[in-house]
Amino acid sequence: MDDTTGYPQGPGKGRMSNNHMSIHLLYIEDDAEIGTWVNEDLKGRGYEVTWLQNGERAVDHAGGCRLVILDVMLPGLDGFTVGQRLKKAYPDLPILMLSARTSIDDKLEGLQFADDYLTKPFHPDELAARIEVLLRRSGSYSSEPLVLKHLLVYERENRIMNKDTGEEIVLTGKQFQIFMYLLRHLGQILTKEQIYEGVWGDPYLDGDKTLMVHIRYLREKLERDPASPEIIETVRGVGYRVKA
Amino acid sequence: MRNKKLPRPRFRGSLLSRYLLIILSALLFIPVVFPASLIGYQLVQNMVLGNAFPDAGAEPEERYQTIHLENMWHKEAKRLKGSTPEEIDRRLKELSEEYSKVDMFWVDANSHVRQPAGGRLHLSETWNAADAISYMKRYREATQQFSVIAFIGDDEKLNQGFMVMQVSKAALGPRDSGLSARESMAFFGIILLMFVLFIVVSWMFFMNMRRRLLRLQSAMTVPDGSGLPDPITVRKSDEIGQLEAAFNGMVHRLDRSLKREREEEELRKRLIANLSHDLRTPLTIVRSHVYSLHKEQLSERGRELLKLAETKLGDLAGLIDNLLSYNLLTSGKYTLHPERVDVLRTVRESAAAWYPLWEKEGFEVDIDLPEGPVYWTLDAQWFRRILDNLFQNVVRHARSGQYIGVRAAMDSAGGMAIVIADKGKGMKASSGDKGAGIGLAIVGFLTREMGLDMEIRSTEEGTTILISRASGGGQGLKLK
C-alpha cells in the first residue's frame, strides 16, 4: 500500500501473518462509521475485536483482551479517564490512543499512561503495524518463530536457530537483551542512546563504546558476514535497525 | 498612575511610636534618671548600710535631726521667759551637756555675748543687730553649719535677748556628707547600666526590624522561575506589617490574573482540540472509504486518482494540524516549556522516525551529525515540531531532488548550526503542492520564540536551512 501522506511512520510494516486468531482486542470508538471500518479491518487481519461505543464499561470488557485501542473524544467519560481506569485495573495491558486531536499537550497527556498514540486520519496498515509492535513489546509473542533472513527466532523460548547450520546461537546476557530490544522495535530505527538506555536503564554517557563493542560481538554471532551485516543494519548517522 | 492616597497608619503600635518611646526614654535619662538613681542609691545606702552599722547611726540620728533641734531650741527659749541671766546660763549649760555636739551661746538685753558652756566659738564680746545679721550671712553659710536663733521667751518684744545654737552639718549624720569613692563608683555603675540597657533595647529594636525585613525578602524571592511567592502571615499591624499585607495583596492579585490567563489558555486549547476533532473525524471517514475503494475493481486511471485523493487527504490533515497549531501559538495562549535538550539527539531521533518514509520515496539520505551532546535550552516538543515541518516540506516539495542531508556546521558566530539540505527545485519554484507556507510560518514563529536563528538559502539546485542559536540570544529560549 502506498502511503505518501508526508507523515513519519513509527514502525515499518509488520508481518502480515494471520496467526493471531486467538488475540482479542478491545476497541473503544464513538463514531459509528469509523468504528465499523476499523472493526472490520482488524477482523480481516485476524484479530478478535470487541467494539464499545463508550468507555463506561471498558474495564468490564478488558478482562480477556491483549490490547486496547482507545479514542480520546468519547461521550460521557473521556478517553483519558477511561485509559487511566484501564491502566489502574490492568497495569500490563497495552493501550493505543487513537485521536483526532493533535495538540501536543493532548499527546503528552495521553502518553502518560498510553503506550502509543496515533492521530486520525490514519492508514489501517499503520494501525495494524503499531498494534503488532505493542503486542510484541508486551510479550504477546506468537508461537511461530520469527524469520529473519537465515535466523529463526523463537521469542517465547528465548531461542535463536541458524537455519543454514541448524545450530542454536547462544548469546550472552547483554547481547541477548540488545537483540531482544531491537526485535521489540522491529523495523524501527533506534539511536545509540535509545538502545543503551533501554537495555542498561542508565542515561547514555557520551563517548561510551560499550554498546558498539556489544553489537560487534552480536554481529559476529548472528550475521553470515559480519563485515556486511544483514540482520542488524547500521543506519548511518542515526542508529541501528532490525528489519523484518 | 493614579495618585493613590497613602493609608494613614495608626500611631499606636507603629514602629515610629515604638522608636519614639526609646528615644524619649533616652532623653529623659539625663534629667530624670540621674536624680532618680541618686535617690535610689541613697535609699540603698540607708537601708543596707544603716542596718549594717547600727552604732554609727541610729541614736544620734534621732536627737540631731535638724527639725528636732529647732523645735527643742524654740521650746527652751519659750520656757526661759522671764528667767534671770543666771538661770539662762545654767539651763544652756545643761543643754550643752545633753547635746555635746551642739555649740550654744546667748546674747542678753545689753548685747553681751554669754557662753555659759565655754566656747569653741570665737565671738566678739558684744553683739548688736548688725553683728547678728552678718553672722547669719557669713558664718553660717561659709562653714556649713546648721544654726537656730530664738528670742528668749520666744518673743522679741520682751527684749530679753536671744539664744543661738549651732552644729556642724557633719555632726548631723552621714547624709549631708560628700560622696565617697565607693559611693561614686556605684553611682556611675548605675549610669553605665542605664546606657547599656539603652543600647541593648535599641539594638533589639533594630534587629527585630531587620529580621522581619529579611523574612519579607526571602518570601519575595521565588525559588523557581515559574511559581508565585507564597503569602506570608502578618503578625503585627505596624509599618512592616502593612508592607507584608500589601505584599500578600499583590501576590493574590498576581495569582488571580495568572489563573485567568491559564483559564484562557485552557479554553483556547480546548477550542482548538475540538476544532481539530471536528475536522479530522470526517476526514478519517473519507479516508476509510477511499481505503475501501482500493478493494474494488478499478481501472488504472481510477487507481491513480484514488492514490492522488489519498495524498491530498494526508496533506489536508497536516494542513489542519499546522493551521490550528499556528493559531494556538500566535494567539500567545500557549506557554513554551524550556528545558536543556541535547539537540543532536533530538535531530537523530526525529530523523529515525522519518527515515522509513525517505527510504520508501527513494531518497538518498545523508545524515552526518557529530558525536556527543550539544545542549540548547528549548521546548523539546516544539523543537520536534520544527524538525517535523522541515522534513515534511522536503518530502512534499523537494521530492524531485531525491536527497536529504542532515548535518552540523559552524555558523558565522562560531557556534553549531543544524543544516537540513535538499536538492529540490528551490522554494521559488512551484512544486505543484501549496501549503509549505503555514508549515514554514510555524517554524519561523517557533524559532523566534525559542531564541533560534533560521537561515534559508534557496536556489534552483536546492534549499539549505540552517538553524542555530541566535547570536544575541545567549541562552536561547527567553522566559516570558
pLDDT band, residue B480 (cuts 50/70/90):
very low
Number of domains in chain B: 4
Percent of chain B surpassing pLDDT 90? 11
Contacts of A197 in chain B (CB under 8 A): none
- The answer on B345 and B451 residing in a single domain is yes
Task: Decide: B452 and B467 in contact? Cβ < 8 Å.
Answer: yes
Is the pLDDT reported for residue B126 higher than 70? yes
Within a domain: B401 = yes
Test the A interface: residue of B284, B335, B394 with most A CBs within 10 Å: B284
Residues B53 and B183 in one domain: yes
CATH of the domain at B351: 3.30.565.10
Residue B322 lies in a domain: yes
Is B71 inside any structural domain? no
- How far from B152 is each of B8, B71, B117, B119, CA to CA, in Å? 75, 14, 17, 20
Same domain (yes/no): A131, A48: yes
The torsion region of residue B379 among left (phi > 0), alpha (psi -120 to 50) and beta comes to: beta
Same domain, B349 and B299: no
Q: Which of B307, B353, B381 sits opposite A8 (nearest CB)?
A: B353
Note whether A153 and A114 are same-domain residues: no
Three-class SS state of B341: strand
**Looking at this predicted complex, what is its ipTM?**
0.79
Partner residue opposite B288 with nearest CB, options A1, A6, A34? A34
Looking up residue A43, the CATH number of its domain turns out to be 3.40.50.2300
Last residue of a domain, one of B312, B333, B354: B333
In a domain, B257, yes or no: yes
Q: Is residue B366 part of a domain?
A: yes
CATH code of the domain containing A198: 1.10.10.10
Average pLDDT of every residue of chain B: 79
Query: Which chain A positions have a beta carbon within 8 Å of B345's beta carbon?
Result: 191, 193
Given A103, A137, A171, which residue is the final one in a domain? A137
Do both B301 and B154 map to the same domain? no
Are B477 and B379 in contact by the 8 Å Cβ rule? The answer is: yes
- Per-window interface: A 172-191 vs B, CB < 8 A: 187-191
Mark whether B301 and B183 lie in a shared domain.
no
* Those residues with Cβ within 8 angstroms of residue A84's Cβ, 6 or more apart along the chain or in another chain: A113
- Return the pLDDT at A1: 37
Phi-psi category of residue A187: left, alpha or beta, with phi > 0 → left and psi -120 to 50 → alpha:
left
Sheet-wide strand order for A190-191: A190-191, A239-242, A232-235
CA separation for the pair A151, A147 (Å, rounded):
6
Domain boundary among A118, A137, A156: A137
Size of the A and B interface in Cβ pairs below 8 Å:
150
Q: Tell me what pLDDT residue B54 has.
A: 45
Q: Tell me: do B43 and B97 sit in the same domain.
A: no
A201 burial type by CB count under 10 A (0-12 exposed, 13-18 middle, 19+ buried): exposed
H-state helical runs in A45-165? 58-61, 79-89, 104-111, 124-137
State the average pLDDT over residues A169-190.
89
Clarify whether residues B193 and B166 are in a common domain. Answer: no
Please give the distance of CA B55 from its chain centroid, rounded to a whole number: 63
pTM of this structure: 0.60
- Quick one: B350 and B460 in the same domain? yes
Give the end of a domain, one of A109, A137, A165. A137
Assess A236–B contact: CB distance below 8 Å, yes or no: yes
> Do residues A105 and A203 both lie within one domain?
no
Rounded to an integer, the average pLDDT of B317-341 is 81
The reply to whether A80 and A160 lie within a common domain is no
Environment class of residue A5 by beta-carbon count within 10 Å: exposed (0-12), middle (13-18) or buried (19+)? Answer: buried
Q: Look at chain A and report how many structural domains it folds into.
A: 2
* CB-CB under 8 Å, B321 with A121: no
State whether B367 and A119 contact (CB < 8 Å).
Answer: no
- B45 shares contact with chain A (CB less than 8 Å): no
Are B167 and B122 found together in one domain? yes
Among B172, B207, B228, where does a domain finish?
A: B172
Q: Is residue B268 part of a domain?
A: yes
Q: At B298, is the pLDDT very low, low, confident or very high (cuts 50, 70, 90)? A: confident
Mean pLDDT of B119-146: 71
Nearest CA in chain A to B312: A5
Q: Is A46 on the interface with B (CB under 8 A)?
A: no
A185 and A160 within one domain: yes
Do residues B144 and B191 share a domain?
no
The C-alpha cell 522519518 sits at: B354
CA B341 and chain centroid, separation: 38
Q: Is A186 a member of any domain?
A: yes
Query: Across the interface, do B276 and A100 touch by the CB < 8 Å criterion?
Result: yes
Same domain, residue pair A165 and A190: yes
pLDDT recorded at residue B72: 85
In a domain, A7, yes or no: no
Contact residues, B window 303-332, toward A, CB-based 8 Å cutoff = 307, 310-311, 313-315, 317-318, 321, 324-325, 328
Note whether residue B480 is domain-resident: no
User: Quick one: pLDDT at residue A118?
Assistant: 87
* A29 and A132 together in one domain: yes
Is A151 within a domain?
yes
pLDDT at residue A26 is higher than 60:
yes
Do A202 and A106 have their domain in common?
no
pLDDT at B380 over 70: yes
Taking CA–CA distances from A205, the nearest residue in chain B reads B372
* A129 and A155 share one domain: no
What are the pLDDT digits (tens) for B84-108? 888 888 888 888 888 877 888 888 8
Q: What is the mean pLDDT of residues A174-192?
A: 89
CATH of the domain at B320: 1.10.287
> Are A33 and A114 in a shared domain?
yes
Contacts of B317 in chain A (CB under 8 A): 5, 7, 119-121
Find the domain containing A201 and state its range: 146-242
Cβ neighbors of A128 (< 8 A, separation 6 or more) are: A14, A41, A42, A45
Tell me how far apart the alpha carbons of residues A161 and B225 are, in angstroms, rounded to a whole number: 57
Question: Do both B106 and B192 map to the same domain?
Answer: no
pLDDT score of B475: 44
User: Comparing C-alpha atoms, which of B127, B101, B97 is closest to residue B114?
Assistant: B127
Alpha-carbon distance A116 to nearest alpha carbon in chain B (angstroms): 14
Per DSSP, helices labelled H in B343-431 are 343-360, 380-397
Same-domain pairing of A166 and A95:
no
pLDDT of residue A218: 93
Residues A220 and A190 reside in one and the same domain: yes
Q: Could you tell me if residue A76 is inside a domain?
A: yes
Q: Is the pLDDT of residue A187 over 80?
A: yes
Q: For residues A178 and A232, is the Cβ–Cβ distance under 8 A? A: no
What chain A residue is nearest to B286 in terms of C-alpha separation? A121
Residue B223 falls within a domain, yes or no? no
Same structural domain, B358 and B425:
yes
CB of B277 less than 8 A from some CB of A: yes
Q: Name the grid cell of B196.
A: 547599656
Q: How confident is the model at residue B20 (pLDDT cuts 50, 70, 90)?
A: confident
Q: Does residue A4 belong to the interface with chain B, where contact is any CB pair within 8 Å?
A: yes
* CA-based nearest residue to A43, from A69, A10, A74, A12: A69
pLDDT of residue A103: 61
Q: Containing domain of residue B31, as a range? A: 15-57+179-218
pLDDT at B1 over 60: no
- Per residue in B31-62, pLDDT (tens digit) is 776 677 677 767 766 665 555 444 444 445 56
- Report, as an integer, the average pLDDT of B120-127: 72
Summarize pLDDT for B431-466 with one digit per residue, the tens.
Answer: 545 556 788 888 988 898 888 988 888 888 889 999
pLDDT of B404 above 90? yes
Confidence of residue A8 (pLDDT cuts 50, 70, 90): very low
Cα-to-chain-centroid distance, residue B428: 62
